[in-house]
Structure 1
């Protein structure tokens, strides 16, 4: 269906179809209240403390119209996730802390080095090899492995813009698992006045704000998702797994930094300054569609930080927003549109196409094939008949 996106909840389930958020109003077949939200509207309302609009609006920043490129986001995310790895290696002496020497040939045993000495079961046992008990591993790991990956700066900026654009698409948020059925609109912008004088420095105040703007369902989803990890990770500092909740993006200059203390103890909720947006938070796991709660000051700063497709950014040198190669990539929808179909000529008839593989027939046995190759063959045949008669 042109202009729509299909998502499957399970392998064999029927699809849930959403209209494209950039063309029509997002629609949920399950009867949600998203009909009043549009990701492509020119302005966004600023929400107050009680969850109702304050009356103030702000134009949608140009970064939200960037191309959504999952391939670039996944590649950059993979590289960035590797940059926090800590080197590890086995001991250089592991498996070699014993005196062992091969017995050589002629003793009807393998030539692997064997522990010297006597008076114990250990004497005569094979040592050093990776196939031996208490031996070293094959190709012992070294700390000078290439742990970190250099990522092209332009690709990192492109991926960040794509992640921001995807955060304004309701179907992508829902496909990622966020509970956005109760929020008034996407993007969700909260008035920065609520953060004055460290008003959101306490967890209770921050949680109350999230619930008042409709993000409480997503917070509860993240809180209730804490499960014990399967596997050895339980022993290695990764005992629990948990879903991601809302990401609160703020402006340090206007909103202050006290709100970080208020949100940091809410399970699944993260904070990030608008001047240092992190792709690992905007697209966790390389998956687009993070639910973001913006402060009005941070939302207004996006145009200065990222610029647009014609004017460069004021903070990023020589950076212009990426633009689409074609304005409408749905070629099927274009070709079948009434504007193009009305200008096309009527079809001239059925197309005649030759078969790519035709069975070869012997012209000496098949007259039709012979006549196709040599139209004069019929004259030869008639002359031959006359001579015989």
Structure 2
């Protein structure tokens, strides 16, 4: 039924022994499959590998199964060297076999203690984990932040001084720097054009 614009769903399967106009009776019914008992097809009995298709057996076809496949006590009369599949286990109740005391005695005891996995935190991202490993890390981090702030202030002062020197040479009036309440210096804008040193570029100086 592949590559079809319209798909017909499978209906019941009728299995017969002799064709007594049974094919003509069901030929116009969509979805019905007719099979001969001597020519059974697994693709028609179990389409798509799904069990549970509704099969309708005629009386003669059902009685012919013993002659066609035989039983565990009687051999088949229509086939040669054919035997029904036998069970590999005498007791097919698998759950009962597993719970038997003979097997439970040979198995190890179940482990009822549950181990929960602990989330491992990254020491470089988590400060508490870093302090457990290196207690001096908090002081080092604080010192690094203070050094960066001091270097940034020095860089801003240096850029301001160089800018004032250049503007004094050209004779352009310079605005005075304004000190905020937080203690940080805000450099006044001398021209409308923005310079690269006014865009907040931070540098870190290494103290040898």
Q: When the two structures are superposed, what TM-score results if normalisation uses the length of structure 2?
A: 0.44
Q: When the two structures are superposed, what TM-score results if normalisation uses the length of structure 1?
A: 0.25
Larger Rg: 2
